[in-house]
Amino acid sequence: MKQVFLGALSLLMCGLGTTAIAADATPGQSATTKAAASATVPANYVIGPGDVLSVVFWRDKDMSVDVVVRPDGKISMPLLNEVDASGQTPEQLRVALTAAAGKLIEEPNVTVVIKEIHSRNVYITGNVAKSGPYPLHGELNVLQLISMAGGLAEYADSKSIVIMRTQNGKNQSFKFNYKDVIAGKKVEQNIQLAPGDQVVVP
pLDDT single digits (tens) 164-189: 998 777 899 999 999 999 999 999 99
CA 140, CA 31: separation in Å to the nearest integer?
Answer: 26
pLDDT > 70 in the chain, percent? 80
Among 100, 116, 132, the domain boundary falls at 116
147 and 110 both lie in a single domain: no
What CATH code is carried by the domain that includes residue 170?
A: 3.10.560.10
Please report whether residue 7 resides in a domain: no
Among 116, 140, 155, the domain boundary falls at 116
For 79, the domain range is: 15-116
43 and 83 both lie in a single domain: yes
Amino acid at 19: T
CA 55, CA 51: separation in Å to the nearest integer?
Answer: 13
pLDDT single digits (tens) 121-154: 999 999 999 999 999 878 899 999 999 999 999 9
19 and 112 both lie in a single domain: yes
- C-alpha pair distances (Å), 73 with each of 159, 166, 184, 186: 39, 19, 42, 39
66 and 136 both lie in a single domain: no
pLDDT of residue 24: 61
175 and 104 both lie in a single domain: no
Please report whether residue 6 resides in a domain: no
Q: What are phi and psi of 188, to 5 degrees?
A: -65, -15
pLDDT of residue 22: 62
pLDDT of residue 79: 93
111 and 34 both lie in a single domain: yes
The total number of structural domains in the chain stands at: 2
Q: How far apart are the first and last CA of the chain?
A: 21
Please report whether residue 88 resides in a domain: yes
